[in-house]
Amino acid sequence: MNIYGFPTFNLSKVLITAEELSLDYELHLLDASKGEHKSPEHLERHPLGKIPAIEYQGDYYIESNSICRLLAEENDNRLYGNSAKDHAKVNQWIDLFGFHLGRWMGVLYFEELIKSYIPNSQANPDNIAEANEFLQQQLPVFNNALEQQNFLVNDQLSIADIIAFAYCQTQHHTQLNFNDYSNIDRWYHNMSERHAVKKAMAKLPNHISPFN
């Protein structure tokens, strides 16, 4: 398997999933400053010129959450559960992050970090305020879900945890923090200490911006 991407949280999702599943892969880090994500070669992998993308058994697959689902399903549903109901519970959390929590974490990441690398670009305080307002509403739901368990679904590690963790990594580069959410803080620390996570992150020494 070949994995293509920038050193951002979306690539982290795929790498951690691959490591947790003990998959063999080759990582190809693209250089955004050189426009490698818009090259003819990469446009064959991803028609929008985005990342990540993977080459798996002769076909290309895109969108980080979908890639994580594919890898889990292709490996005996490890990290996904054994029933449609399990999958639904995992997907609920993936969608909650993709459309809500992770969306607003992504806004902070873009406004506070990525824009700092873009010439003549400044953070938009209204976008930051909106993101913080929604996160204050939504983070308690995430925190409460971890009150009695170590993982989001059936108290077992799943791709929901991996995807959520990758979004939460943005806290290291933005004003986001979990000081008021002890369950999230505990969960995040435990995820950070997993061998697969450490192995994946070691491959992204500049896990800050695609412009590094």
Report DSSP letters for 6-17, one per residue.
-SSHHHHHHHHH
The CATH fold assigned to 84-194 is Glutathione S-transferase Yfyf (Class Pi); Chain A, domain 2 (1.20.1050)
Q: For residue range 61-70, what is the model confidence (pLDDT) as tens digits?
A: 999 999 999 9
List the alpha helices (DSSP H) in the chain: 9-20, 40-45, 64-73, 84-96, 102-112, 125-145, 159-168, 182-192, 195-202
- Sequence-distant (6+) residues with CB within 8 A of 192 are 165, 198
Q: In the numeric block, which tokens belong to residue 149?
A: 């368990």
In this structure, CATH architecture of domain 2-78+198-202:
3-Layer(aba) Sandwich (3.40)
Where do the structural domains in the chain lie, given as residue ranges?
2-78+198-202, 84-194
Q: For residue range 20-55, what is the model confidence (pLDDT) as tens digits?
A: 999 999 999 999 889 999 999 999 999 999 999 999
Relative to beta strand 59-62, strand 26-29 is unpaired
* Distance of alpha carbon 61 from alpha carbon 100, whole angstroms: 24
Q: For residue range 105-126, what is the model confidence (pLDDT) as tens digits?
A: 999 999 999 898 888 999 999 9
Q: For residue range 161-199, what is the model confidence (pLDDT) as tens digits?
A: 999 999 999 999 999 999 999 999 999 999 999 999 999
- The chain-wide mean pLDDT, for the chain, equals 94
Q: CB 37: neighbour CB atoms within 10 A?
A: 21
pLDDT exceeds 90 at position 212:
no
